[in-house]
Amino acid sequence: MKILCVMGEHAYGDPARGEGPEYANFLPALRRLGHQVSFFESLSRTPYDDFYRLNHALLKRVEETSPDVVFCVLMHYEVWIETIQVIRNSGSWVVNWSTDDSWKYPMFSKLIGSEFDLFVTTYPQTVERYHQDGINSVYLSQWAANADALMSPLPASACRYSVSFVGAAYGNRRAMIARLRHEGIEVACFGHGWPEGPVETKRMGEIFRESRVSLNFSDGAHGRSDFATRQIKARIFEAPGYGGCLLTEKAPNLDRYFNIGEEVLTFDGADEMVKQVKSLLSRPEQRDEMARRGFERVRRDHTYERRFDELLRELTPRVPHQVRIPIQWDAFQAAAQEHRLGPSLQIVRSLLVFMASLVWGRSRGPRAARRLTFELSWRLRGAWTYTAAGWPGRMFYRES
């Protein structure tokens, strides 16, 4: 198949935060399966002046390459609903890999899921919600590990780090790390917000392999830490797949993918985290056996090749392939007419930014104003937020 991947090269579109996990893992896996893969940058705001030009450029790429599948990882409203409809009408299947359904479902997936041929969630507990909302395109998959990067574990005696954590410093993560250090446990931290900063994908794998304990927190970027909103993210598969011994915060449905206590270990709260870390550090034989079993499980069941082979096999019989027709530029341009930022909307933007800057400061004010506009928009106007006419995209391109 010819597959056009629409996503960000860097995490959150910011080169300073390192390579995005989807870009680093999805494209190579699809190529290893024998597909002809190309890439379209949708997350960075640098290449284009506004969302009209981004959407126009995406349709031009579809027109030039005639992909069988357009595989998206959308953050929010960067690709309009009208653009998705034009692509589907041209004869390409359109798939979206949805992240963070534990908290984004009502504001994102529920509103746009029905626009796709296949809408992928990694949250088993949300599948029934999709069906209740009439979204039959939902498909359950899961994060995984890069097969090219798999590394067998080192024995505890050969590890460089006692405990490591790779991930951004948000929510209660700083406090949890501080608790371990207060107990006299050395913890090496890497990622956005830590002194060491982000690390490239290859180095991340080396850190996992060189750690006696690879720590993972299951809270999302929203900062909430209650059990229902905890997430199974890629780190849960990458750490054991790249040779680490994983100690992860408990999360719903984790036992679907690992034998808890044999292949990975879990904790809930700071006290149990400290207890489990001390147990693993004091019992190197137990730690080595768990690392070996976790690695074998990932190598057998949890690689991206396996995930995407299953996904594409599901897509083919589920959605009949349409006859190829030229891109409907008239339909796109008609939608684009609604994307203009006229004088009235410019005044609204200026007022919102001014008021938000009084509260959050000049540097954070514009993003706070965008967030306020978005929160009001999806609550009051629903799916309209993700169209060309949606206010957040018209008013806050750079801040989105």
Of 377, 399, 400, which Cα lies nearest the Cα of 389? 377
d(CA 28, CA 33): 9
- Burial class for 261, CB neighbours closer than 10 Å (0-12, 13-18, 19+): exposed
Decide if domain 2-144+304-337 falls under CATH 3.90.1150.10.
no
Binned at pLDDT 50, 70 and 90, residue 227 comes out as confident
CB under 8 Å to 180, separation ≥6 — which residues? Answer: 163, 187, 273, 274, 277
pLDDT value, residue 222: 55
The amino acid present at 194, given as its one-letter code, is W
Which H or E run includes 342? none
In words, the CATH class of domain 149-301 is alpha beta
- What does the pLDDT read at residue 16? 80
246-249 and 118-121 strand pairing: unpaired
Residues β-bridged to residue 188: 164
- Single out the residue of 337, 332, 362 nearest to residue 83, CA to CA: 332
Give the rounded distance of the alpha carbon of 100 from its chain centre: 7
Digit-coded pLDDT (tens) for 373-386: 999 999 999 999 99
> Cβ(338)–Cβ(387) under 8 Å?
yes
Same topology, domains 2-144+304-337 and 149-301? Answer is: yes
Could you tell me the residue ranges of all domains in the chain?
2-144+304-337, 149-301, 340-395
Model's pTM, two decimal places? 0.90
Cβ partners under 8 Å of residue 178, min gap 6: none
Mean of all residue pLDDT scores within the chain = 94
User: What pLDDT is recorded for position 221?
Assistant: 56
> Which tens digits make up the pLDDT trace of 23-74?
999 999 999 999 999 999 999 999 999 999 999 999 999 999 999 999 999 9
